Amino acid sequence: MSEQIHDESTRPLVRIRGLRKSFGANLVLDGVDLDVHEGEVTVLLGPSGSGKSTLLRSINHLEKPDAGFVEVGGEIIGFRHQGGSLHELGHRAITRQRARVGMVFQQFNLFPHLTVLENLTEAPVAVRGLSRKSAALQAKALLERVGLGGREDAYPRQLSGGQQQRVAIARALAVEPQLLLFDEPTSALDPELVGEVLAVMKDLALSGMTMIVVTHEIGFAREVADSVVFLDGGRVIESGPPADVLANPGHERARSFLSAVL
């Protein structure tokens, strides 16, 4: 985390430039620039409808940008640059890129017809070509890591919301991504279950995982984030270390949002 020193010459793991996206006449992302360095935790803040989810989903090409680009690990996501044009990639290539970016959803989206273990082994077997056996070993280790050792035979519906979200985090980790995206991971949880999920996320951050987190948990941002980015109306209106941005935001919209959630 913070002890890491960023040499300006090292290229950020994630580079977003001029990202624009509209749904019909609704301009949702209006030229977003964002850098995230390896091992950094970036927290995205902003009012509802400001485009946080759309930005996050663009990073693994669940949304296709209208203009601008997203680069992860030096590779443009969803496109190939050739002869002055960006050519849209085929499904296979996009699938390969997605395996390097993990995502955790607000509604968990675990596969309800599969056991916890099967949820965790599906992608490693299909994407990384692991054998069922080694995938299962890895899955058990991951479940220990999120504090759910021994629950591998449960079905998602037999777990609490907090447990399901921790399984979802383990599932995302199972493909060994370079980057983890979190879209309001605690917003669907009962208040007493929020802590256990945030604790797992903090652990991950301390272990050096690169993370982009959309959340309204200001405490998490203050304690764990390396930088906080404030989105409003599809634009970045403020960004910087949490101490600066959270303590004295320069922008009026950021100030009123913070006073509302704090």
Ligand X SMILES: Nc1ncnc2c1ncn2[C@@H]1O[C@H](COP(=O)(O)OP(=O)(O)O)[C@@H](O)[C@H]1O
Nearer to other proteins, 49 or 112 (CB): 112
CB of 210 to ligand X, least distance (A): 21
Partner from other proteins, ligand X, Mg ion, none binding residue 36, C-beta < 5-8 Å depending on class: none
Q: Which stretch binds Mg ion (CB under 5 A): 47-55, 125-133, 160-168, 170-178?
A: 47-55
Determine the Cα–Cα distance for residues 232 and 234; give it in Å rounded to an integer: 5
Output phi, psi for 151, to 5 deg.
Answer: -100, 15
Q: Which residue has the tokens 């609704």?
A: 26
> Quick check: 26 binds ligand X (CB under 6 A)?
yes
State yes or no: residue 50 binds Mg ion (CB under 5 A).
no
Structure tokens at 182: 């979190």
Site map for other proteins, 157-196, x if CB under 8 A?
xx------------xx--x---------------------
Nearest to 203 by CA among 162, 230, 166: 166
- Closest C-alpha to 169, from 188, 199, 146: 146
Residue 76 interacts with which of other proteins, ligand X, Mg ion, none, CB < 5 to 8 Å by class: none
| Least distance from ligand X to the Cβ atom of residue 223, Å | 22
113 binds other proteins (CB under 8 A): yes
Binding mask 38-77 for ligand X (x = CB under 6 A): --------x-xxxxxxx-----------------------
The DSSP code for 76 is E
Place of tokens 């409003």: 232
- Give the binding range for other proteins (CB under 8 A) out of 76-84, 114-122, 137-145, 226-234: 114-122
Q: Which is nearer to ligand X, 174 or 225 (CB)?
A: 225
**At residue 75, what are phi and psi to the nearest 5 degrees?**
-115, 130
Rounded distance, CA 156 to CA 18, Å?
39
Say which entry of other proteins, ligand X, Mg ion, none residue 28 contacts (CB below 5 to 8 A, set by partner kind).
Answer: ligand X
17 burial via Cβ count (<10 Å: 0-12, 13-18, 19+): middle
How many angstroms from the chain centroid is the CA of residue 4?
20
- Residues near 157 by beta carbon (within 8 Å), at least 6 away in sequence: 112
Under 8 Å between Cβ of 234 and 32: yes
> Which residue in the set 42, 50, 53, 164 belongs to the binding site for Mg ion (CB under 5 A)?
53
Binders of other proteins among 54-83, rule CB under 8 A? 60, 62
Find the shortest distance in angstroms from Cβ 175 to other proteins: 6
Residue among 76, 127, 218, 258 that touches other proteins (CB under 8 A) = 127
Integer Cα distance of 26 and 179 in angstroms: 29
Binding site for ligand X (CB under 6 A): 23, 26, 28, 46, 48-54
Binding site for Mg ion (CB under 5 A): 53
